[in-house]
Amino acid sequence: MCNYKAVICDLDGTLLNSNHTISHYTKEVIEKIKTLGIKFFIATGRHHKDALAFRNILGLNSFLITSNGAKIHDENDVEVFSHNIPKEIVEKIIEVPIDPEIQRGIYKDEFWFLEKYIDSLEVFHKESGFSFIVKPFEELKNEDVTKFFFISENCSKINKLEEILKLKFKGLVNITLSFENCLEIVQNGVSKGKAIEEILKKENIAIEDALAFGDGLNDLDMLQTVGKGFLMGNSHKKLIQSLPGYEVIDTNSNDGVAKHLEKIFL
C-alpha cells in the first residue's frame, strides 16, 4: 500500500515535455491520482503568472510555488509568501559587468522585465501567454525584485558568471542553475525546499509522505527535503552527481513523471 500523500513537481525539463507543454497522458494520470486524495503541487522557477496557466490546465486546487520558492500562492491565487531581493543588493547585481553574449531578466512581483527583446523565450510561454516588458535595468536599481536570471547559448560563460557572482554575493543571495544555460538568483534562504516545508506544514502533511520530481540544480534541496526524490533522465549532470543513489526515471519528453506516478499510485 502506497502511503504518499503529496507530489511536488518542477515544470521545465520535468512535467513539461520538449514542446514545453503537458501531454494528454500526463494530464490523465494526474487527474487519476487526484481522485485518490493525493495533493499535487507545482514548484518552478517560472513567474507566478506563467506557472498559474499550467496549474489551471491541470485543474489543481493547491498551493503554487514559483520563482524558485520566492513566491507562494494559495489555491485561490492569493499570495501567502513573498521574499524579494532587497534593493541595495539589486543595485549591486545590476552593476556587475556582463558579457555581451549573456542576456539578463528580472521578475518583480507581477512583472517580467528584459533589457531587450529575446524571441527564443516566446516558445516557453505560449501556453500561458505571459510576456515580458522591455525596460532599462537602470530604472530598477532602487527597487527590490523577486528574481534575476541570466541566459546564454554559451554555457561556459554562464559557468564563469556563476563563479563571479557566488564569490561577490556569498551569503547574500541564493544562486543556482536551472538549465546549463540559465543562471538564477533569489534572496538568501529562499529555495523550493524551504517553500515545500511551508506548504506541507499548512496542509498538515509530513515531509516523509511527499514525493518530488526535478531535473535542475534549483531542484536539489527540494529533492533532498521530501521523503523520496526522483531525478529525470534528462537531469543536469551536476544534479545527478550531487544525489548519488537517487533513482533516475525516464525523460520529460517520454512522460517520465506520469509513467512513474502511474507505477507508484495506480
* Burial (CB count within 10 angstroms: exposed 0-12, middle 13-18, buried 19+), residue 144: middle
Report, at the CATH architecture level, how domain 87-187 is classified.
2-Layer Sandwich (3.30)
Interval 222-237: pLDDT, tens: 999 999 999 999 999 9
Q: pLDDT per residue over 102-119, tens digit each?
A: 999 999 988 999 988 766
Please determine whether the domains at 6-82+190-265 and 87-187 fall in the same fold group of CATH. Answer: no
Q: How far apart are CA 40 and CA 34, in angstroms?
A: 7
Q: Which fold has domain 6-82+190-265?
A: Rossmann fold (3.40.50)
Would you kindly state where each structural domain of the chain is located, as residue ranges?
6-82+190-265, 87-187
Angle at 130 between CA 183 and CA 57, to 5 degrees: 100
Smallest CA-to-CA distance from 216 within 188, 261, 264, 181 is with 181
Asked if 144 is an active-site residue, the reply is no
Q: In angstroms, rounded to a whole number, what is the distance separating the alpha carbons of residues 30 and 28? A: 6
Catalytic residue among 10, 50, 215, 219: 10
- For residue 19, the number of C-alpha atoms closer than 13 Å in the C-beta half-sphere is 7
Q: Reply yes or no on whether the pLDDT at 1 is more than 60.
A: no
d(CA 28, CA 57): 11
Segment 174-189, tens digit of pLDDT: 999 888 889 999 999 9
